[in-house]
Amino acid sequence: MGAMWPLILPQCPLRASYKRTLPNMTIRSSMDTGPDKVRYRGGHSPMTVDAAYFLTAAQRDALETFAMDTIKGGAICFDWPNPEGGGNYVLARLVPEGDGLLSFSPNGDGWNVSLRLEYWPDAPIGGE
């Protein structure tokens, strides 16, 4: 069985922070004259999601351990609860932004964390 988003963490990101981007499924080539040539890329490109969560200190620590140890800094895919999928899980991978994998900032008694991930809606999960 593969890695799974820890149950101690919120299972849904903050709604105001959630942004899903569809993949570009084309290849564009410039021509000497006339319009660009555009072809379908094919394959299964991932969706990209920007999300934020509000965490307690214990949840922040759990996420750090998950990110750095369990999924080896983003090298290993994991099952992530898709907030648009009614609780269904999708195969996902954390994507670094600049020099960092996760960005934490204090907020009252807790922590805001922002992250970017990519996921494949139709990929098998849990080592299936």
Stretch (H or E) spanning 63 = helix 57-65
**For the domain with range 3-120, which CATH number is right: 1.10.10, 3.40.50, 3.10.20, 2.40.30?**
2.40.30
pLDDT tens-place string over residues 80-116: 999 987 878 999 999 998 888 999 999 999 999 999 9
Say what the pTM is. 0.81
Of residues 12 and 46, which shows the higher confidence score?
A: 12
pLDDT at 119 over 70: yes
Mean pLDDT of 2-16: 94
Distance CA 113, CA 64 (A): 10
